[in-house]
């Protein structure tokens, strides 16, 4: 490629993080995040009242304390792991062909800033990769929505390609397998738990094709009708990673965490699964969180600390968390392949 030829822009987008652990910054983040109509899919007025009068004022101080548990000298792990992924990807891709930028769906650096960086470089095409392996309207859909909202204000809109999910990409699965194998050296585990971020059941039903989703055994098979069902994709991720690790089927469990509010969320709940494991006398559990590609509040604190404490209080002996992909070399190769396959 000639040096003066237009490049292909790549925008990596993760969820987002407060600018600091100060309560005000956490409250600001929560407001932006939860006011997204794809996250809390209520009409604007009740959503505004719920977020601004109840959730943000009362949840922010507690959440700020949780963020302090994982904050490092480099700041938020989710942010710097995404930065590390970006830097490694830049080294893997042809610099004369690609320009890589990164953004957060909420807070900084913003999607608008990331797109502006690419457009100023006069790229001929933009590939947007939401860093959420399993498609959900509240994550991947929200990123796509925001990119389109910004792009529609441009006079010139280049070709834009979105990567919706990659639950069955061989290198994505291999990266988790590598980390799993390494973690499995610690103990002879009784059970292997795959804990994914939850969603309200109503959001799954909204995306159901021909009424296929029953929020039950329909997720035991993955095909045309549920290829964009978040719950089905999570179960498929579990099956594929467990198969590569050679895990016995009766030792593998899939569950969902991080509930918010009183409405029913997709099941089984991780908290309930922990109680059931304790009742069965299970002592050693290895946990995967394959909905997250970077360590964050939901992995490090919720799964790694809070659930560990709950399990041990109920008689468990070992609760170990497999780290997220972060900037694992095989994961970087996966991202490289995802990008190049869309070129």
Domain ranges of the chain: 8-166+329-341, 170-321
Please, are residues 164 and 129 in contact by the beta-carbon 8 Å criterion? no
The answer to whether 133 and 290 have CB atoms below 8 angstroms apart is: yes
Q: What gap in Å lies between CA 227 and CA 167, rounded to an integer?
A: 10
* Nearest alpha-carbon partner for 134 in 206, 195, 209: 195
3-state DSSP call for residue 208?
Answer: coil
Which residue bears the tokens 């990659």? Answer: 166
155 in helix, strand or coil? coil
- Would you say 197 is a known binding-site residue? yes
Buried residues in 22-31 as b, exposed as e (16+ CB within 10 A): ebebbbbbbb
* % of the chain beyond a pLDDT of 70: 99
pLDDT in tens, 32-64: 999 999 999 999 999 999 999 999 999 999 999
- Token duo for residue 117: 């960086």
157-183 pLDDT tens trace: 999 999 999 999 999 999 999 999 999
What's the CATH class of domain 170-321? alpha beta
Q: Copy the structure tokens of residue 2.
A: 């000639």
Give the integer Cα–Cα distance in Å for 155 and 174: 42
Q: pLDDT at residue 3 above 80?
A: no
The pLDDT-based confidence of 18 (bands split at 50, 70, 90) is very high
Average pLDDT, the chain: 96
> Cα separation of 149 and 282, whole Å?
49
The architecture in CATH of the region 8-166+329-341 reads 3-Layer(aba) Sandwich (3.40)
Q: Do domains 8-166+329-341 and 170-321 have the same CATH topology?
A: yes
Of the candidates 248, 310, 245, 249, the one whose C-alpha atom is nearest the C-alpha of residue 277 is 310
CA 305 – CA 52 distance, rounded (Å): 29
Q: What is the pLDDT of residue 260?
A: 85
Q: Is residue 284 within a helix (H) or strand (E), and if so which, with residue range? A: strand 284-288
Largest CA distance in the chain: 66
Instruction: With beta carbons less than 8 A apart as the criterion, state whether 288 and 180 touch.
Output: yes
What's the chain's length in residues?
Answer: 343
* Token pair listed for 85: 């992924």
Task: Provide the sign of the torsion angle of the four alpha carbons 144, 150, 152, 158, taken in this order.
Answer: negative
Strands (DSSP E) found in 116-204: 125-130, 159-162, 191-197
Beta bridge pairs of residue 256: 196, 269
Per 3-state DSSP, the chain is made up of helix, strand and coil in percentages (nearest 5) of 50, 15, 35
Read off the pLDDT band of 261 (50, 70, 90): confident
Residue 333: band (very low, low, confident or very high) from pLDDT cuts 50, 70, 90: very high
Is the model's pLDDT at 105 over the cut of 90? yes
Distances (CA, A) of 306 to 181, 296, 297, 343: 24, 13, 11, 43
Amino acid 2: pLDDT: 52
298 annotated as ligand-binding:
yes
- The answer to whether 100 touches 10, Cβ cutoff 8 Å, is yes
């Amino acid at each position: 490629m000639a040096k003066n030829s237009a490049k292909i822009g790549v925008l990596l987008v993760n969820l987002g993080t407060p600018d600091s652990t100060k309560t005000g910054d956490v409250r600001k983040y929560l407001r932006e995040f939860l006011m997204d109509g794809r996250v809390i899919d209520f009409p604007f007025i009740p959503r505004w009242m719920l977020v601004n009068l109840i959730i943000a004022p009362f949840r922010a101080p507690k959440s700020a304390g949780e963020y302090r548990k994982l904050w490092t000298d480099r700041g938020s792990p989710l942010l710097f792991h995404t930065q590390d992924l970006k830097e490694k990807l830049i080294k893997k891709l042809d610099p004369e062909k690609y320009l890589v930028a990164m953004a957060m769906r909420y807070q900084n650096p913003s999607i608008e800033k990331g797109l502006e960086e690419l457009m100023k470089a006069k790229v001929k095409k933009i590939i947007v990769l939401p860093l959420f392996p399993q498609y959900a309207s509240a994550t991947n859909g929200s990123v796509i929505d925001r990119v389109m909202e910004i792009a529609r204000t441009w006079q010139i809109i280049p070709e834009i390609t979105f990567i919706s999910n990659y639950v069955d990409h061989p290198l994505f699965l291999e990266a988790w397998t590598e980390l799993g194998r390494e973690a499995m050296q610690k103990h002879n585990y009784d059970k292997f738990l795959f804990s994914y971020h939850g969603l309200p059941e109503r959001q799954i039903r909204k995306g159901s094709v021909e009424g296929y989703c029953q929020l039950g055994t329909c997720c035991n098979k993955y095909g045309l009708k549920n290829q964009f069902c978040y719950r089905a994709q999570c179960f498929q991720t579990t099956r594929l990673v467990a198969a590569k690790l050679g895990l016995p089927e009766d030792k593998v469990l899939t569950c969902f965490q991080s509930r918010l509010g009183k409405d029913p969320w997709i099941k089984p709940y991780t908290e309930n699964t922990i109680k059931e494991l304790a009742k069965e006398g299970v002592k050693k559990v290895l946990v995967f969180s394959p909905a997250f590609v970077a360590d964050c509040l939901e992995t490090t604190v919720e799964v790694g600390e809070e659930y560990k404490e709950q399990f041990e209080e109920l008689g468990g002996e070992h609760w170990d968390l497999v780290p997220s992909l972060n900037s694992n070399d095989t994961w970087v190769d996966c991202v490289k392949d995802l990008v190049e396959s869309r070129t």
